[in-house]
Amino acid sequence: MGADARLAELKLELPPAPKPVATYVTATRYGDLLYVSGHGPLRSDGTLIVGRVGDNMDVTGGHAAARQTGLAILATVRTHLGSLDKVARLIKVLGMVNCTADFAEQPKVINGFSDLMVEVFGESGKGARSAVGVGALPGGIAVEIEAIFQVND
């Protein structure tokens, strides 16, 4: 089963693919790699999930924000490639969590993204990953994630 069919089977709704808000592109392809710029937790209604994990948001809320960020990234990938079925595998992920200085469970938060990628792409959705805590993210968003995918024509 392809990734597009899997997404439909899971009844997952992708938000509209985000548009750049500064001087960059949301994704760029080089050879068989698609580099996806940092995305935030964009909902289908255009709003973003904001908050700081360890302050006004718990791990569960952060996990949900990371999952929503994954849906936004999938929307961008589909827009750039025309189909999620062109994804061969996830190569690398950088997950940034807007959190307090003493919060130490960033990997649990970014699992929201990683778990979604495995649901959609199977074992090919597992890639190398970093999960880091940061003091602030644009607009106060809870999570920002960037990714690199290997793609087929």
Q: What is the mean pLDDT of the chain?
A: 97
CATH number, domain with residue 66: 3.30.1330.40
What is the arithmetic mean of pLDDT over 69-85? Answer: 98
Read off the tokens for 113: 């993204």
Q: Are the C-beta atoms of residues 87 and 137 closer than 8 Å to each other?
A: no
The pLDDT-based confidence of 1 (bands split at 50, 70, 90) is confident
Tens of pLDDT, residue by residue over 94-113, are: 999 999 999 999 999 999 99
The domain tally of the chain equals 1
Report the alpha-carbon distance of residue 106 to residue 91 in Å, rounded.
Answer: 20
Domain extent for 112: 27-41+48-151
Q: Are the C-beta atoms of residues 97 and 106 closer than 8 Å to each other?
A: yes
Tens of pLDDT, residue by residue over 41-67, are: 999 999 999 999 999 999 999 999 999
Read off the tokens for 4: 């597009």
Residue 59 placed within a domain: yes
Q: Residue 153's pLDDT is what?
A: 84
Q: Residue 131's pLDDT is what?
A: 98
Residue 1 placed within a domain: no
Residue 13 placed within a domain: no
Q: Residue 13's pLDDT is what?
A: 92
